[in-house]
Amino acid sequence: GENVEQHPSTLSVQEGDSAVIKCTYSDSASNYFPWYKQELGKGPQLIIDIRSNVGEKKDQRIAVTLNKTAKHFSLHITETQPEDSAVYFCAASRLVPISNFGNEKLTFGTGTRLTIIP
């Protein structure tokens, strides 16, 4: 099965600086990589995702990059703000058609607690 490793487990950055979280995966067939943000007392929320036919995707201050050869992908947050403080999870799975009722479920990393220092 798929195995996703996430680093670092904790990260503190000064407000305004950039933060980078990295994940590696083991299944070369994985081709869908979402990132989730979990604020205190809430469930994880999808913030950005990338598919293997794309090397980079950006949405305002957040971006995700993918290196399929090395089997790793990263989340980049620029100009960090206090509201970026949260736990971030990466995940990986295979893309399958919706009509294929297989078991290609998301495998999650163990999370990164990001703290933005004012």
Nearest to 65 by CA among 26, 114, 57: 57
Task: Between 8 and 16, name the residue whose CB sits nearer to other proteins.
Answer: 8
Q: How far is the CB of 110 from other proteins (least distance, A)?
A: 4
Q: Return the range that interacts with other proteins (CB under 8 A); candidates 12-20, 40-48, 61-69, 74-82.
A: 40-48
Q: How far is CA 76 from the centre of its chain?
A: 9
Task: Between 38 and 78, name the residue whose CB sits nearer to other proteins.
Answer: 38
DSSP strands (E only) in 40-100: 45-51, 56-59, 62-67, 72-77, 86-92
Does residue 8 have a cis peptide bond before it, meaning omega lies within 30 degrees of 0? Answer: yes
Using CB under 8 A, pick the residue from 28, 40, 70, 98 that binds other proteins. Answer: 98
Using CB under 8 A, pick the residue from 40, 42, 69, 118 that binds other proteins. Answer: 42
Q: Are 72 and 23 in contact (CB under 8 A)?
A: yes
- Applying CB under 8 A, the site for other proteins has a residue count of 30
Is 49 among the residues that bind other proteins (CB under 8 A)?
A: yes
Measured distance CA(71)–CA(48) in Å, rounded: 18
User: Can you give the binding site for other proteins, defined by CB under 8 A?
Assistant: 6, 9, 32, 34, 36, 41-46, 49, 51, 89, 93-98, 101-106, 108-111
